[in-house]
Structure 1
Amino acid sequence: MEHVQEKIVQVTGLRKTFGRRVVLREVNFEFSAGKIIGLVGPNGAGKTTIMKALLGLISTDAGDVQILGQPVSVNTHTVVTQEVGALIERPAIYPFLSGWQHLQVMTTSTTQMAWVVKALQMEDYIHYPAKRYSLGMKQKLGIAMALVDHPRLVILDEPMNGLDPQSVKRLRHLIVQLAQTGTTFLISSHILSELAKIIDMVILIDQGQVLLQRTMTQLQASAHHSLVIRTTENPRALRVLLHAGYSVTRRHDDLIVAKSVALTPLLRTILGAHIQILNMDQQQEDLETVLLGLLAEGKR
């Protein structure tokens, strides 16, 4: 259990400006080993800048970054070299080297190279020169280079870009597998529906500030739930429910009722008016809807 609680990343008071533009404002967050963290926010929010600061690729104006308890900056990033794998923006690929040769730059272990090639299903083209690779092949190679040396922390910026649905599913499965063995992931992605399937925690950033850091369990608890009801007489059912004091609206062929109501009395109200229920379903806001709502609140 101690290994699970070990702090992998600690960011304190991080500030970064480009000219007069403030890109990061007092950014603070931390997370433990074996977690999958989603770093989300609008374009230009500062996500890639945070990732570059974590890797010691850019200087910052204030604040501290620590990985595995060791400081990281442009001058001090031994821990990054030894313990971190990353794919930031586009993979650095040399057109005349094969995929296999790219992996050889990252590790001397042919066992690990064979493992990652199989895991990402790159066997058919791994020995071809990279100039023959499609966008999706290059993206998989970049991910393979980040994973091949079994780093403790993996930082992935939009890893699903250019991947077909099957490759996205395979990548999700691989990330979850590796996290279960202790690898920690920080992933930025605008495909929130895919991210929501694997992450343990969300860090929401907007205009260079962390608006919240919450577990998926906490976010799901804060999501709005509703009942979607379809009856033989929706207009009359709407009047009956409103008269009975329910918060209900009509949307197309459905009636939408807040879920925080007792189900049995609601059903009795409809059936007592001799209205037949054709369908009833529960709905919960998805991650994107929840986060968009939080972003809107943050801008008020």
Structure 2
Amino acid sequence: MADAILTVKHLNKSYGHQPVLRDVSFECTQGRIVGLVGANGAGKTTIMKAILGLLSTDGEIQIAGESMQFDHHPILATVGSLIEYPSLYPYMSGWDNLRLFADGPDAQARLAAVVSALNMTDYIHQKARHYSLGMKQKLGVALAFLNQPQLVILDEPMNGLDPQGTKELRDFILKQKQAGVTFLISSHILSELQKLADDLVIIDHGKIIEKTTMTALLTTTDHFVIVKTDHDGQAKAVLVAAGYQVVADTVVKVHLAPDHQVADVLHVLTSHGLTVRDVRHETADLESTILKLLATTSA
């Protein structure tokens, strides 16, 4: 099993008498993408800032086996990050913003490579003050990757990106993952996170309520079969009488319990003289699964 690049143990943080983080513990394993998920105000950004030494907390944080202290953290030289909105020099070009932070003898080559990979070539020499929100976001992501980090922490990286920019960033992140980079990503765009994350840390009101893999979580989701027949009203009645849960909808949508098979549903319909014209599967997505989990926990 791969080593943990990031280890967070018993992290606690309060502002006055208000707890923000409550005994938060998790790991990020090398070469995997970890999604940090929760509602606004759940504590995601606070966790990321604590890892980056931007605020003091109780607990222990280790990066690549080295313990972090709030006032001493040389290991952060191996970490790339984008937290909230990127801090840019508006009267400098995007290229010059990147040059300020690019270290090492091959800095120019790495800078050019990340600009090309994120498709920023057309505007990288314009002043940053003329950039759109999406362009600024890409520049912030580029800054996070400049110095070949082992661990990258991204807070809402898809913010402001159009569909093409989102795909370009997704492809770039997956390519970096294949090269062994570890990611901790927070995003409210759960449909995108579903395409990226290997592991999930789900947080609610400052406390972790679930640590799992994307695959494991989605296998627990609800599965449905949607059937089109020559008489949908009769089909619904027949299925309900046979003990199936038919979801209230304009179509015939049947909840499939673990012991139910699609073939059995179709057999019930055809045995009652109904003609099945179309069948398709539907599985709950990450967003609906997370919302259901949060609702269950809060109940």
Give the TM-score taking structure 2 as reference length.
0.95
Q: Is the deviation greater in 145-154 or in 271-280? A: 271-280
Structure 1 residue 299 corresponds to structure 2 residue 294: no
Counterpart of 2:183? 185
How far off is 1:259 after superposition?
Answer: 5.0
Q: Deviations over 1:196-218 (max 9, x none)?
A: 00110111111000111110110
Distance 1:280 1:257 in 2: 13
- SS state at 1:251 partner: coil
How far off is 1:239 after superposition?
Answer: 2.2
Question: Structure 1 residues 118 and 238, CA, compared in 2 at 3 Å: closer, same or farther?
Answer: same
Counterpart of 1:122? 120
Question: Structure 1 residues 254 and 241, CA, compared in 2 at 3 Å: closer, same or farther?
Answer: closer
Letter in 1 for 2:48: M
Q: Aligned residues, how many? A: 295
Is the contact between residue 95 and residue 124 of structure 2 (CA under 8 Å) also seen in structure 1? yes
Q: Deviations over 1:145-172 (max 9, x none)?
A: 0011110000011011111110100000
Structure 1 residue 266 corresponds to structure 2 residue 265: yes
How far off is 1:240 after superposition?
Answer: 1.8
Q: Deviations over 1:103-129 (max 9, x none)?
A: 112213100000001011111221222
How far off is 1:221 after superposition?
Answer: 1.2
Distance 1:271 1:127 in 2: 66
Is the contact between residue 229 and residue 279 of structure 1 (CA under 8 Å) also seen in structure 2? yes
Structure 1 residue 54 corresponds to structure 2 residue 51: yes
Is the contact between residue 28 and residue 184 of structure 2 (CA under 8 Å) also seen in structure 1? no
- SS state at 2:211 partner: strand
Distance 2:53 2:255 in 1: 50
The percentage of counterpart residues that share the same residue type is 45
Is the contact between residue 246 and residue 252 of structure 2 (CA under 8 Å) also seen in structure 1? no
Q: Is the deviation greater in 135-144 or in 266-275? A: 266-275
Is the contact between residue 248 and residue 258 of structure 1 (CA under 8 Å) also seen in structure 2? no
Q: Deviations over 1:66-123 (max 9, x none)?
A: 111111132121101x200000011010112211111112213100000001011111
Distance 2:135 2:296 in 1: 40
Q: Is the deviation greater in 220-229 or in 249-258? A: 249-258
Counterpart of 2:159? 161
How far off is 1:253 after superposition?
Answer: 2.6
Letter in 1 for 2:284: E
Distance 2:252 2:234 in 1: 12
Counterpart of 1:90? 85
Distance 1:175 1:168 in 2: 11
How far off is 1:254 after superposition?
Answer: 2.3
Distance 2:264 2:53 in 1: 60
Counterpart of 2:213? 215
1:170 aligned to which of 153, 168, 171 = 168
Letter in 1 for 2:191: S
Counterpart of 1:73? 69
1:23 aligned to which of 12, 20, 24 = 20
Q: Deviations over 1:190-238 (max 9, x none)?
A: 0000110011011111100011111011011111111111212122222
Letter in 1 for 2:60: D
Distance 1:298 1:210 in 2: 11
Q: Is the deviation greater in 22-31 or in 247-256? A: 247-256
Distance 1:286 1:50 in 2: 26
- SS state at 2:215 partner: helix
Counterpart of 1:105? 100
Letter in 1 for 2:88: I
Correspondences of 1:190-269 after superposition (within 5 Å):
190-258=188-256, 260=258, 261-269=260-268
Is the contact between residue 224 and residue 253 of structure 2 (CA under 8 Å) also seen in structure 1? no
Is the contact between residue 12 and residue 21 of structure 2 (CA under 8 Å) also seen in structure 1? yes
Give the TM-score taking structure 1 as reference length.
0.95
Is the contact between residue 238 and residue 250 of structure 1 (CA under 8 Å) also seen in structure 2? no
Q: Deviations over 1:248-298 (max 9, x none)?
A: 334113232325312333222211111111221111110001111110111
Counterpart of 2:135? 137
Q: Is the deviation greater in 123-132 or in 250-259? A: 250-259
- SS state at 2:288 partner: helix
Distance 1:267 1:178 in 2: 45
Distance 2:184 2:85 in 1: 16
The RMSD of aligned alpha carbons is 1.3
